[in-house]
Amino acid sequence: MKENWNAGNLDTLLLGILRQQSAHGYELIQKLKETSEGVFDLPEGTVYPSLHRLEKSGAISSSWDSTSGRRRRIYEITPNGRAAFQSGKKAWAKYSYSVNMVLGMSS
Amino acid sequence: MSDFIDQYLEKIARDLQGPAIESHRTLLETEDHLRLSAADLMKTGLSEDDAQKEAISRFGKAREVAEAHNAEAWGFSLIGTLVALSTKAAELIAMAFVAIGVSAAIAYIVSLFTSVQAVFGLPTTALPSIQTCSYWLSIHPTAANCQQAGTWEAAHDMTWMLGALGIVGLIILALVRGWKQTRFYSIKSLPTTLSSAIATTMFFVAAVALFAFGLSDAVIAGSWGRGMWYSESATALMASIISGFLLLRAIRRPLGMNNSFN
């Protein structure tokens, strides 16, 4: 389960984190791990290609920051990204509701 | 002191493809990530070396990181795709040549332990023309008859010609490898799964066909010899198994390396 969850949803999760605050890659991954209480403990190198793709699609933007003494790429969600996040969130709500119904877990 | 992060970055850099600016960015981001991660791990009590190793382990294998970058670094490009397909086709053809060369070597070795007749024997049903027989007998004057001369001729020609084909295959593979490492080869790689699937299928079909040729003691395009067909079939089967193993290994990689946005 742990390896399969992210095939279609990693991008939505990344947008979910960036929706709250701009962040660099390492920070994003740590946030994802902390917020999910360790469930989303990804191979860390897998996140950057997703970020680059999200940037090409216009869902996020990025810029270099040197205030920490090292050059660091900071990612920020765009209006398109917020719309994509809402759409991904709705799709997940529908999916999880359906799964809960089948499993008899609906309230 | 050795810096494991630098060594890891060098490994990734060797396999990165795509625009230089994209590769530069990936390397900078990777280094920043690893240094931050190692620093955090050192706070938990790990030594600097152990912290770097753990940070690298959490990041992923260098080759897989580079492949994930390569898959994203380029959008669809017709020319790039055609060049990638041509390069992969050249590699597959070269691999087939090498397999043929290996099978010729195996056939030759087997003939030393059995007999030339068993491996390269001209089928009794084959009816070579008088001119062909005369030619064979002129090259092998000690042969008892046309059949034997044909067998000896096949043993000589197939061993050397197919062996030479194997060497040509190795040269092509070396050239393709060299070409892929030049800065001019900056195109999107084909997924390992695709090329492995093609190679697995190609070699398996070849193995079955060659085995069938051996069973029927076929004469095809001037080639014959049960032992020769079986050697080629066994080599093709081995190549198919190796390609299949590579395919399975590629499929079993973490899905996160190939995410798509819904």
The proportion of chain B whose per-residue pLDDT surpasses 90, expressed as a percent, equals 32
Q: Which residue from B26, B32, B59 is facing A72, i.e. has the nearest CB?
A: B32
**For range A27-56, the mean pLDDT:** 87
List, as ranges, residues 37-56 from B with C-beta within 8 Å of A: 37
| Residue-wise pLDDT tens digits, B213-242 | 988 888 887 778 888 899 999 999 999 999
Q: Kindly list the domain boundaries of chain A, sorted by start residue.
A: 10-103
Say if domain A10-103 classifies as CATH 1.10.10.10.
yes
**For range B13-36, the mean pLDDT:** 87
Residue of chain A with shortest Cα separation from B70: A49
Q: Cβ contact (<8 Å) for B256 and A57?
A: no
Chain B residues near residue A52 by CB distance under 8 angstroms = 22, 69, 72-73
Q: Cβ contact (<8 Å) for A49 and B75?
A: no
Q: Cβ contact (<8 Å) for A42 and B256?
A: yes
pLDDT band at B258 (very low <50, low <70, confident <90, very high): very low
Give all strands of the β-sheet with A23-24 in edge-to-edge order. A23-24, A72-77, A60-65
Mean pLDDT of chain B: 83
Question: Per-residue pLDDT for B154 more than 90?
Answer: no
Closest Cα in chain A, distance from residue B77 (Å): 15
**B1/B217: higher pLDDT:** B217
Inform me whether the C-beta atom of residue B256 falls under 8 Å from chain A C-beta atoms: yes
Question: Per-residue pLDDT for B208 more than 90?
Answer: yes
Q: What is the pLDDT of residue B253?
A: 55
Q: Cβ contact (<8 Å) for B60 and A4?
A: no
The DSSP annotation for chain B comes to ---HHHHHHHHHHHH--S-HHHHHHHHHHHHHHHHHHHHHHHHTT--HHHHHHHHHHHH--HHHHHHHHHHHH----HHHHHHHHHHHHHHHHHHHHHHHHHHHHHHHHHHHHS-HHHHHPPPTT----HHHHHHHHHH-TT-SSHHHHHHHHHHHHHHHHHHHHHHHHHHHHHHHHHHHTSTT--SPPPPHHHHHHHHHHHHHHHHHHHHHHHHTT--BTTB--HHHHHHHHHHHHHHHHHHHHHHHHHHTS-GGGG----
Q: What is the pLDDT of residue B189?
A: 57
**For range B133-142, the mean pLDDT:** 86
**For range A49-70, the mean pLDDT:** 87
Q: Which residue from B35, B256, B261 is facing A57, i.e. has the nearest CB?
A: B261
Inform me whether the C-beta atom of residue A56 falls under 8 Å from chain B C-beta atoms: yes
Q: What is the pLDDT of residue A75?
A: 95
Q: Cβ contact (<8 Å) for B32 and A71?
A: yes
Report the distance separating Cα B102 and Cα B239, nearest Å.
11
Chain A residues near residue B25 by CB distance under 8 angstroms = 73
ipTM above 0.90, yes or no: no
pLDDT band at A25 (very low <50, low <70, confident <90, very high): very high
Question: Per-residue pLDDT for A54 more than 60?
Answer: yes
Q: Cβ contact (<8 Å) for A24 and B32?
A: yes
Q: Mean pLDDT check: name the lowest of A31-45, B160-174, B195-209, B247-261.
A: B247-261
Q: Which residue from A4, A44, A59 is facing B59, i.e. has the nearest CB?
A: A44
Q: Mean pLDDT check: name the lowest of A45-49, B54-58, B72-76, B140-144.
A: B72-76
Q: What is the pLDDT of residue B2?
A: 64
Q: What is the pLDDT of residue A50?
A: 87
| Residue-wise pLDDT tens digits, B171-198 | 999 998 887 766 555 555 566 678 888 8
Q: What is the pLDDT of residue B182?
A: 64
Q: What is the pLDDT of residue B76?
A: 54
